[in-house]
Amino acid sequence: MTRHARRQTETAEAPLQTHLPDDGLQGFRTDGYAVLPQRIAEGALEALRAEADGLIRRFTQDGFRSDDYWHFTPAGTHAPVLYRIHNLESQGSPTAARLYADEGPLHPMAASILGVPVRATACAMIVKLPGVAAPVPWHRDRTNVPPHTVCNLSVFLDDSDGGNGCLEFVPGSHLTSGAEEAEALQAQGPVRALPLAAGDVAVHDVRIAHASRRNTSPRIRRSIVIEFAPAELELP
Ligand code: NI
């Protein structure tokens, strides 16, 4: 995917602030999300994809089931559809576990974004299987922390666009009251789709309203999501 294809469906007005470097951090504060383009090298991506394929095959071919392998069975079928592998750092997948570990490559990015020393607090793989993946409904990951305090970094293993269920956000909704429901925020809009290329890292404030659509394409869409919080903060 070219850089041009990554442009958003709607363009925000450029904020008049000059004290932060123009590397997505300002977008994170004003919009609640940003892209750190091409942060994961191809070799590391290949290793993550191979490992992801192995985990997914455990479910789809070997019949492995666990509380960490979240799935649903579409009405009228008997075929369970995997959509999330939770506690990814504990699934015997060392490459993904390194992303979560204290010395992992995402920690400096999260520390720079949040402006404090950080720790990883959750790790999961989002799986949108071709043709069968359901939409992820509008939601806010957390509203029990202030804005700009806790973020999710998503490492994209595959190109992601409208066809295979890219992320969609309501920009600025991380700044609204925690009592606001994600669906109401989505109805007020605007909604922006965020196409990404494999190797990109997306960051979003855990308070932002976001969602993704079903995967109607023949292309898989996998991302590894890691939540980062200030090292000193006890998450509520
Ligand atoms: Ni989410």
pLDDT for the residue numbered 56? 96
> Taking the chain, what is the end-to-end CA distance rounded to the nearest angstrom?
39
pLDDT tens digits, residue range 116-171?
999 999 999 999 999 888 899 999 999 999 999 999 999 999 999 999 999 999 99
Q: Flag whether pLDDT at 13 surpasses 70.
A: no
Q: What number is the average pLDDT over the span 78-88?
A: 94
CA of residue 206 to ligand 1 center, whole Å: 7
Who's near 223: CB < 8 A, 6+ residues apart?
125, 126, 154, 155, 156, 157, 158, 160, 202
For the stretch 64-77, pLDDT in tens is: 999 999 999 988 88
Q: What is the whole-number distance in angstroms between the Cα of residue 152 and the centre of ligand 1?
A: 8
For residue 1, tell me if it sits in a domain.
Answer: no
User: Residue 25 has what pLDDT?
Assistant: 78
33 CA to centre of ligand 1 in angstroms: 12
The answer to whether residue 78 sits within a structural domain is yes
Domain annotation covers residue 190: yes
Q: In sequence order, what are the residues at sequence separation of 6 or more whose Cβ sits closer than 8 angstroms to the Cβ of residue 144?
A: 178, 236
Residue 102, domain member (yes or no): yes
Structure tokens at 135: 């939409």
223: pLDDT strictly greater than 60: yes
For the chain, the domain total comes to 1
Question: pLDDT at position 16, please?
Answer: 39
Report CA(155)–ligand 1 centroid distance (Å). 14
Q: What is the pLDDT of residues 31-64, one digit of tens each?
A: 999 999 999 999 999 999 999 999 999 999 999 9
For residue 208, the CA-to-ligand 1 centroid distance in Å is 9
Query: Looking at residue 24, what is its pLDDT?
Result: 64
Structural domain includes residue 39 = yes
Tell me, yes or no, whether 174 lies in a domain: yes
Summarised one tens digit per residue, pLDDT across range 175-199 is 999 999 999 999 999 999 999 999 9
Pairing of strands 201-205, 33-36: antiparallel
Q: What is the pLDDT of residue 30?
A: 95
Q: Domain span at residue 76? A: 18-230
Question: Whole-model pTM?
Answer: 0.88
What is the pLDDT, as a whole number, of residue 6?
43
pLDDT at 21: 45
**Separation of 211 CA from ligand 1 center, angstroms?**
7
Give distance in angstroms: CA of 114 to centre of ligand 1: 18
pLDDT value of position 48: 97
Does residue 221 contact residue 56 with C-beta atoms inside 8 Å? no
**Residue 26 above 90 pLDDT?**
no
CATH assignment at residue 70: 2.60.120.620
How far is the C-alpha of 71 from the C-alpha of 16, rounded, in Å? Answer: 45
For residue 41, how far is its CA from the centre of ligand 1 (angstroms)? 25
Whether residue 10 lies inside any domain: the answer is no
